[in-house]
Chains A and B, each alone.
Chain A
Amino acid sequence: MGTIWTAFLDLLPGNWSAFESWPIWRFLLEGLWVSVQIAVIGIALAIVFGVIMAVARLAPVAIVRVLATTYIETFRATPLLLLMFFVFFGAGRFNTEWTTGSPILRCFVDDGSGDLTARSAAIIALALYNSAVVAEIIRAGILSISKGVLEASRCLGLTYMQAMRYVAIPMALRRMSPGLVSQLITLFKDTSLAALIGLEELLRHGRLVYENPTYSSQTVEILTVIALLYFIPNYALSLLAARLERGPDYRAAPEAEATLETAVGRG
């Protein structure tokens, strides 16, 4: 196996000797795993806070609406790198010792010094920025459901909760899903910014490899592999987003119609 791989690498233009051995791959993949982790935690937090902010922005109470709008517009318009620096370098001024007493909060701080870790700073910054963007996506999804749809389902005898559960929420979810998936792509790309605050993720590990004198002549090859490691999951996600945008496959419609007919009974 190893010899086939080496022979393949020899065929490629350039010097790929760094990728002949497993440890370099393992080092890069460990970085990728950290990137994936903070992307997943980041999108989960962003969706939770995004839903809250979207609902708050549609609230009937003016002061809530104003606060949510301020939050959304401010964080959407701030550079993410600035937010990361703000959270990571700025948090040093706060006393974070009290967080070690709480079982959840202590995950965010370093055990030794009690400072905010680079990983939690990156997650907080990603969640702040992306929750604002996700809130706008969700708000657009909610607003796109016309009132007539809800009224029609109420006329058919569904209760308010049933109309929400079976009609409005599925429609809104389907309309938001392409936007949410492309925001996940952006978020995964943005995890690379955490390299600049010293988090050991994919780009930082790649830099550590090509700044090593042994591999310094292979910067081009190493950066290409890093770009590919970002590209593959993102491209898969972008295909998924395009698929979601196209909507359900209507070529399957005749079959569905037939099932409906058998279910309802003809005439």
Chain B
Amino acid sequence: MDPQSILIWSYFVLVLPLWVAVEVKHARSGRRPAWWPWLLWPVRALALAGVAWAAYGVTFGAKTFWEDVWDQFKEHYPALLRGYRMTIVISVLSFLLAMLLGGLLAVLRTSDYRGLRAFSGAYIEWFRNTPLLVQLFFLFFALPKLELPVIGRPDWFLLSPFQAGLIGLTMYTAAYTSEALRSGLLAIDKGQTEAARSIGLNYLQTRFYVVAPQAIRVAVPLLTSVFSALFRNSALVSAIGVTELLSTADSIQQDNFQTFELYTLAGVLYLSLTLPLAYASNRLERRVARAR
């Protein structure tokens, strides 16, 4: 065993457990002996030195790696940014459509007619409990072969990859947006509706001017996290041949074998979309919680 690995092993086996034990003892209340600070600070210093060394290694030892990543970006940025744009376009479009479809489903789910409620419930359960990839495969590979009783096998069942991806993402996400919107609708007190009706608003006015604004406000944090999940799910449309971010990175990687660099690049670009959304979702959640 070389000295370096002995050092690393003893760090994990000795220093880290000692540090944890010391911190736990320190965090507990009660009297501590006078020599305690003399033990506390050297242990902390030793442990933090290990952390600092690891951080130094990661930043400077990995410097060539990040330089390679940057080189790959400089070389391939037109294709990568085109893929990035496709990811954004398909996600934003299908989110807008999913909001419409999900709003409709949420209204049906809370309606007074049992048939409409059952239809909406069946849609939501089916699309939430089957994998998105199976749905995309169905739209892309199976739909052109589907023979319906009256209309037969129309030409427009043969979808392009983009159309299939857009429809698949929309139908899948609509199940989630409708649940978010429904939880918003259910959070609004019945007294609000009754009060609005008693001051003379009709049913639709009540829904649009009184219930909907409050319901959307409750649903916004949930919708943000659904949107972030949609960005991540949009990677799946690469499986049916849409040239978005992941498949662009993948096809470049198959040419030049810079696997780690290109996937890291794709990961960083995905994180640039999803991390701000996660942050916004947290903030909004706290704000709604405070407002109620």
List residues of A whose CB falls within 8 A of some B CB: 13-14, 60-61, 63, 73-74, 76-82, 85-86, 89-90, 92-93, 185, 189-190, 192-193, 195-196, 203, 207, 210, 217, 219-220, 223-224, 226-227, 230-231, 234-235, 238
Contacts and interface: CB of A to CB of B under 8 A. Distances in A.
The interface centre, meaning the residue of B23, B132, B259 with most chain A CB atoms within 10 A of its CB, is B259
Contact of A13 (B126, B132, B133, B149): B149
Given A189-B131, A193-B133, A223-B134, A235 B125 contact: yes
Interface of B is mostly: helix
Contact of B128 (A74, A76, A223, A238): A238
B130 interface: yes
Contacts of A192: 131, 133-134
Nearest to B239: A196
A79 B235 contact: yes
Contact of A219 (B133, B142, B228, B271): B142
Contacts of A79: 231-235, 246, 270
B238 A60 contact: no
A227 B246 CA distance: 25
Given A73-B278, A86-B267, A220-B142, A234 B250 contact: no
A85 B129 contact: no
A197 B272 CA distance: 25
15 contacts: A63-B48, A78-B267, A78-B270, A86-B260, A90-B259, A90-B260, A92-B259, A192-B133, A220-B138, A227-B130, A230-B129, A231-B129, A234-B129, A235-B125, A238-B128
A189 B130 contact: yes
Given A79-B246, A85-B250, A189 B278 contact: no
B125 to A, nearest CB: 6
B243 to A, nearest CB: 15
Interface string B244-275: 00100010010000011001001100110011
Interface residues of B, number: 45
B40 interface: no
A2 to B, nearest CB: 26
A185 B143 CA distance: 26
A64 B75 CA distance: 37
Contacts of B236: 81, 193
A29 to B, nearest CB: 16
A38 to B, nearest CB: 13
Contacts of A196: 133, 239
A76 B259 contact: no
Contacts of A81: 235-236, 238, 246
Interface in B131-180: 131-135, 137-138, 141-143, 145-147, 149
Nearest to A194: B133
A90 B48 contact: no
A60 B27 contact: yes
Given A77-B232, A190-B131, A192-B131, 20 more contacts: A13-B149, A14-B147, A61-B23, A77-B275, A78-B232, A78-B270, A79-B246, A81-B235, A81-B236, A85-B263, A86-B263, A86-B267, A89-B263, A189-B129, A193-B133, A203-B134, A210-B141, A230-B130, A230-B134, A231-B129
Contacts of A235: 125, 129
The interface centre, meaning the residue of A79, A89, A224 with most chain B CB atoms within 10 A of its CB, is A79
Nearest to B149: A13
A126 B234 CA distance: 18
A77 B228 CA distance: 8
Contacts of A238: 125, 128-129
Nearest to A220: B142
A50 to B, nearest CB: 17
A210 B233 CA distance: 25
Nearest to B148: A13
